[in-house]
Amino acid sequence: MGRRNCTTVPDFILMGLTDSAETQLVLSVLFLLIYLITVLGNAGMILIICLDPQLHTPMYFFLSQLSFLDLSYSSVITPKTLQNLLTSTKSISFLGCFTQMFFFIVFGAAECLLLSSMAYDRYVAICNPLCYPIIMSTRLCRALLTGAYVTAFLSSTLNAIYVSRLDFCKSNVIQHFFCDTSPILALSCSDTLVVEIIIFICGGSNLLLSLITISGSYLSILSTILKINSTVGKKKAFSTCASHLLGVTIFYGTLIFTHLKPKTSYSLGRDQVASVFYTIVIPMLNPLIYSLRNKEVINAVGRIMQNTEGLKYQ
């Protein structure tokens, strides 16, 4: 009981990215601009897919969910980061900190699994196009999405329960700009080995499952594309999955670099830069990657604008 009474931390202090007032101002303007683009880009993508019947396909169903996750993912982190940059109050309650960490993991893990579902969708579309409407049915798409959310929720719940039961008696100063697991574990005066193993297993299994699905899908896609005799056919087949492959590479690269390592290798500056990239920048990039490189989305915007103009003059 005496050891449990060591948990006397009512709140945490988020140190943020810098102590320089000038740098904080620059970062706040930059992050605000990025967040506005993120909100407009992802909300716009969801709206376009909902309004255009020609985009009511499995690929765009998953893409609309990716936009929702990116929007939610960014909203968990960026507003609090902006508040800390613009005000002198950098505290966050114990409950608020673990709530932020919980939803950050939920949306992050769900996005990992959703990206693997999108890879499978591209595999079926390219490697088995004749059976695509049958295989990628509405029922399967909803099942894959539900599985992603349930798995992410269970993983995040287990993570939050074990981390919140640790003792925090060293300090309440988190050397980060949001409540991530590594800097929180660094504050604990408990033995965190078991918690680290559980986090590694949960996060590692999600990543491994996703990476196996994505790697297997794209190896099959590459094999199929190489068998196509027509150069035009090869380019067309590759263009259907190029955007997704680019998004996967950026997302998984920074995620693996930051999280799948022991606490002893934690580096404040290096991890903060990587964290800024995948929590703030990537949610902005995804709608740009999937829309600007996608003729169907661009054509859908044109159709929606024409319909709007037509209604205006009726």
List pLDDT tens digits, range 135-145: 999 999 999 99
pLDDT higher than 60, residue 2: no
- pLDDT reported for residue 264: 53
**Composition of the chain by helix, strand, coil, percent to 5:** 80, 5, 20
CA dihedral sign of residues 167, 171, 175, 176: positive
Identify the DSSP state of 53: G
Tell me the pLDDT tens digit for each residue of 67-97: 999 999 899 999 999 998 888 778 898 889 9
Is this model's pTM higher than 0.85 or not?
Answer: yes
- pLDDT reported for residue 305: 75
Total count of domains within the chain: 1
d(CA 224, CA 278): 32
Domain that holds residue 282: 4-312
Least confident span in 112-121, 141-150, 278-287, 303-312: 303-312
CATH code assigned at 153 = 1.20.1070.10
**302 or 313: which carries more pLDDT confidence?**
302
- The answer to whether the CB of 265 falls within 8 A of the CB of 18 is no
Question: Mean pLDDT across the stretch 145-174?
Answer: 89
For the chain, give the mean pLDDT.
84
pLDDT higher than 70, residue 261: no
